[in-house]
Amino acid sequence: MSWKPVEEEFEGARERCFELLVEGRPVPGVYWKPKSDSERLVLLGHGGMGHKKVDYMLAMAKMFIDKGFSVMAIDGPSHGDREGINLTDNPERFEEAWIEGGGTHGVVKDWSAALDFVEQEEGARPTGWWGLSMGTMMGLPVAASDPRIKVALLGLMGSWGPDADLLVEMAQQVSCPVRCLVQWDDEVVPRSACLELYDKLGSKKKTLHANPGPHSSVPQFESVASVDYLDRFVV
């Protein structure tokens, strides 16, 4: 487990990459820390076919950095710099890649190890989660399992895909505040599946924001508002 030797500048922050080995799985990650003091952390979960530094992840990281957050992200199973099935050329093998990469339980261990690693150097801080689509496939189980997660932005996911039954089961264990985004005309994850998963969330403080349009057309104002939401609850 180690930091990469090269540091980069990113939007007024220091960017450091790292790689962990979790149960034999290489877990590449990135950590952004504002140059000013930062007493809060947000974990960013990317979507399917993306990676930890895909354009929209960088855009979200910048918005959180501007609010004074440090930000951490890792590559999901078979995504980004992770070894595994080439999903770019074989998207139909997503479920196989998810299971081969450790499945839901493995993902929870990967994120827990990454958070432990960052906390060893930076110390424990109030922490939130932001992730849509596959970012919710990772983030909901993390929020259900790790009490360090104080609030979560989830969405574009439901009782669907690999480990769907487990995702629904773990939703009942989520107790932190949650905002959930749904695209009403989602062609990837059926709206009914998204609403079912939201209904199962055990959180006493949860809200649902629905907008017209397909899976990848979340309005920019929702992204901006989601940062404000975490800014309010990560204290």
How many domains is the chain built from? Answer: 1
Using the predicted structure, report yes or no on whether residue 23 has a pLDDT greater than 90.
Answer: yes
Provide, rounded to the nearest whole percent, the portion of the chain with pLDDT above 90.
93
Q: How far apart are CA 140 and CA 178, in angstroms?
A: 10
Average pLDDT over residues 23-49: 95
**pLDDT, position 221:** 98
Mean pLDDT of 206-229: 98
Identify the weakest region by mean pLDDT among 24-33, 68-77, 87-96, 191-200. 87-96
Q: Which two tokens stand for residue 143?
A: 């929020």
Give the predicted TM-score (pTM) of the model.
Answer: 0.97
Arithmetic mean of pLDDT over the chain:
96
| Average confidence (pLDDT) over 41-52 | 97
What backbone phi and psi angles, to 5 degrees, belong to 172? Answer: -70, -15
Full domain range(s) for residue 106? 2-233
pLDDT computed for residue 228 by the predictor? 98
Residue 36 pLDDT:
85
What residues are paired with 178 via a beta bridge?
152, 206
Q: Residue 147: its pLDDT value, please?
A: 97
Q: Please list, in sequence order, all residues whose beta carbon lies within 8 angstroms of the beta carbon of residue 9, skipping any fewer than 6 positions away.
A: 15
When pLDDT is cut at 50, 70 and 90, the band that residue 12 belongs to is confident
CATH of the domain at 203: 3.40.50.1820
Average pLDDT over residues 133-157: 98
Mean pLDDT of 72-82: 96
